[in-house]
Amino acid sequence: MGSVNSDRDDPALSVVIPVKDEAGNIQALLDEIAVVSTEIAVLEVICVDDGSTDGTAEKIRSAQQQHAWLRLVRHRQSCGQSTAIWTGVHAARAEWVVTMDGDGQNPPADIARLIAARDNTTGPNLHMVAGQRTKRHDSRFRRLTSWLANGIRGRLLRDGIRDSGCSLKLFRRDAFLALPYFDHMHRFLPALIQRHGGTVLTVPVGHRPRRQGQSKYGMHNRLWSGIFDLAGVLWLKRRTRLPTIDATE
Q: How far apart are CA 190 and CA 230, in angstroms?
A: 13
Asked if residue 108 lies in contact with residue 29, where contact means CB atoms within 8 angstroms, the answer is yes
The amino acid that residue 16 corresponds to is V
Say if CB 168 and CB 244 are below 8 A apart.
no
Determine the pLDDT at residue 114.
Answer: 96
Q: Which residues are CB-contacts of 155 (< 8 A; sequence separation ≥ 6)?
A: none
Q: Whole-model pTM?
A: 0.81
- Please count the residues of the chain: 249
- pLDDT tens readout for residues 75-105: 999 999 999 999 999 999 999 999 999 999 9
Mean pLDDT calculated for residue range 100-112: 94
Number of neighbours of residue 215 by Cβ within 10 angstroms: 12
Torsion angles phi and psi, residue 70, rounded to 5: -90, 130
pLDDT of 177 > 80? The answer is: yes
Percent of the chain with pLDDT over 90: 53
How far is 27 from 29, CA to CA, in rounded Å?
5
pLDDT of 107 strictly over 50:
yes
Nearest 5 degrees, angle CA 216-CA 230-CA 238? Answer: 155
Across 136-140, 169-173, 178-182, which has the greatest mean pLDDT? 169-173
Q: Cα–Cα distance between 206 and 114 in angstroms, integer? A: 12
pLDDT at 225: 57
d(Cα 126, Cα 239) in Å, to the nearest integer? 23
At 3, the pLDDT band (50, 70, 90 cuts) reads very low
- Tell me which of 22-26, 107-111, 171-175, 211-215 is least confident: 211-215
Helix boundaries (H) for the chain: 26-36, 56-64, 81-91, 111-119, 140-157, 173-177, 189-195, 223-238
Cα gap 27→104, rounded to integer Å: 10
Amino acid, single-letter form, for residue 50: D
Cα–Cα separations (whole angstroms), residue 72 to 44, 63, 77, 215 = 11, 10, 15, 22
pLDDT of 48 > 70? The answer is: yes
Positive or negative: CA dihedral 143, 135, 186, 22? positive
Question: Domain 13-238 class?
Answer: alpha beta
Give the domain ranges of the chain.
Answer: 13-238
- Render pLDDT for 55-73 as a digit per residue (tens, 0 to 9): 999 999 999 999 999 999 9
* Mean pLDDT for all residues in the chain: 82
